Structure 1
Amino acid sequence: MKRAHNMPDIETDQSDSTNTPLYLKIAHKLERQIISGERAVGSLLPPEAELAAQLGISRHTIRQAIAQLRQRGMLAARKGVGTRVESARPQWRERFRDNNRGDLFEFASETEMFISLKDRVEIRGKLATEIGCRPGKTLLYMEGPRHFINEAAPFCWNEVYLDPIAEPVIRDMDVQRSSLFHLIEAHTGERIVDIQQDIRAVPISDEICSKLGRPNGTIGLRITRRYVSSGGRLMEYAVQTSPAESFAYRTHIQAT
């Protein structure tokens, strides 16, 4: 198996935000190299220590960058072999280790939702039952595709219903780059203490298939999350529709 010992130039470009952590800048650059074919599927990365020395960064930073691409399914660590390029296309990995809400915050920081519609909607019928609110209640609504940062193709479609108290949070928002529940907490002072998640296999509607650039009849997963505050108030209800091949679920269970 071929190992690339000469590290291609990995200086971050001007499109990277100055607020982006260094490990994410390195991960984004590595990702672009893999997508372009500069790092071919099946090839091995140099060892962590060698990469870190070439880049003038710590092993901890390069380890974090590699972890990002492992979570996206683009790299895989093989014992006794090294870190191998597995895929030229990011694969979304939904990660909820130890039921940690910090994983949601981390995931939001790695992706962007481009808001195509914002509105106020009156919730009735089955939707009211699904969300868990009284029929006739008015909620804020927004929708749009979600992308990995610097990726052109969306990996899922998002629909979000919010308590009207969150209106100042989204008023001028065109792109969501951080977790909404964190912004809502900062605005309202109410902590989100309960996040209820449901995952179901569904046929994706023709409308969403078109928006995601997928053929009609694509099978996907519909992930819903209810974000409830310490006062028992439903602050956010999010619906995420992902093509099945771009989703993997992993959890960590420890004996007590």
Structure 2
Amino acid sequence: MLKEKTNVPLYVQVARTLKEEIVAGVYPVGTLLPTEEALCERFSVSRYTVREALRILRDDGLVASRRGAGTSVIPPQSSRSGMRQVMSINDLLEFAAATKFEVSSIRMVTVNNKLHARTGLQVGSEWLEILGYRMKENSATPFCLAEYFVNRDYASVGRLLQRHEGPIFPLIEDMFGIKVREVQQEISATILQPTLADKLGVATASAALEVQRSYIGSDNSIAQVTINTHPGSRFKHCMTMRQVESWI
């Protein structure tokens, strides 16, 4: 049963439930998922919602759809390391949709040496800088500082952000018709300076983690870079890796 009152879109909830069932073996590799009509009835959602949920599963490499043949569960893709990380761009979307983003400032910036060292962006290039804080529901204290750097080609997205609380990259995709094909993530340690420590409600010089993500478009250009700074005591990074079997 889906949650009626939540910031997570219905199609993401449906996809998450089906993904959990696929991983648990409810739908083994090679079997068909229920029909769109059956899924609509099960989750009490529209056909559009079901189709978007199935799109997420296809993007995650869990299923394949063929016209007239339905949607089947497919083998996991192998890798040279023999390991597979269970994480997707849609997981980021789900996380951000469950929080509120409060914008502090929006401005165009030119990348200097200091910003280049933090982001890897080209010195002298111009980016839309969006600073703000992510909040959890019913909490007055931010749980992280969020810094966004948006490619100047997509800078007009800034006019929508004062009334937007969710993730930003889906707006860029919708407005400009691009597709984010991958997100590269790095996590590093840092120390909180007094002003930021006070805003986040922790002691000055507390340990913190910076989570930097670069969003790569289908043309291999960087569409967006984000840096989220979390107090160390509030951040936990979890991932699941499974041995990939041979499907030959």
Please indicate the TM-score interval, normalised by the length of the shorter structure: 0.5 to 0.7
Q: 1:175 to 1:245 in 2, by over 3 A?
A: farther
What residue in structure 1 maps to residue 172 of structure 2? 184
SS of the residue 1:169 aligns to = helix
Q: Which runs of 4+ in 1 moved over 3 A?
A: 16-21
Q: Distance in 2 between matches of 1:159 and 1:131?
A: 11
SS of residue in 2 equivalent to 1:235: strand
Aligned residue runs from structure 1 range 80-229, under 5 A: 98-174=86-162, 176-229=164-217
Scaled by the length of structure 1, the TM-score of the pair is 0.61
* Aligned-residue offset at 1:131: 2.4
CA contact (8 A) 2:148 2:224 kept: yes
The residue type paired with residue 212 of structure 2 is T
SS of the counterpart of 1:223?
Answer: strand
Rounded Cα–Cα distance in structure 2 between residues aligned with 1:126 and 1:18: 36
Match of 1:90 in 2: none
CA distance in 2, matches of 1:118, 1:18: 24
| Paired residue type of 2:173 | E
Query: Counterparts of 2:117 and 2:190 in 1: how far apart (Å)?
Result: 19
Share of identical aligned residues, percent? 25
Normalised TM-score (structure 2): 0.63
Which secondary structure does the structure 2 equivalent of 1:172 belong to? helix
- Once residues 20 and 177 of structure 1 are traced to their aligned partners in structure 2, the CA distance between those partners, rounded to angstroms, is 13
Indicate yes or no: 2:214 matched with 1:255.
no
Corresponding residue for 1:72?
none
2:218: which partner in 1?
Answer: 230
**1:213 offset after TM fit, Å?**
2.4
Equivalent position SS for 2:203: coil
> Given the superposition, is the C-alpha separation of residues 176 and 221 from structure 1 closer, same or farther in structure 2, using an over 3 Å criterion?
farther
| Structure 1 range deviating more: 113-122 or 176-185 | 176-185
* Aligned residue type for 2:156: P
**1:203 aligned partner, one-letter code:** I
Looking at structure 2, the residues matched to 20 and 229 of structure 1 have their Cα atoms a distance apart, in angstroms, of: 23
Partner of 2:229: 241
Provide the C-alpha distance between the structure 1 equivalents of 2:207 and 2:151, rounded to a whole number of angstroms.
31
- Distance (Å, rounded) in 2 between the aligned partners of 1:237 and 1:20: 24
Q: Residue 193 and residue 143 in structure 1: after superposition, are their counterparts in 2 closer, same or farther (change >3 A)?
A: same
Partners of 1:227 and 1:157 in 2: how far apart?
Answer: 18
Q: 1:158–1:241: 8 Å Cα contact kept in structure 2?
A: yes
CA RMSD, aligned part only?
3.1
1:180 to partner: Cα distance: 1.2
Q: 1:217 to 1:165 in 2, by over 3 A?
A: same
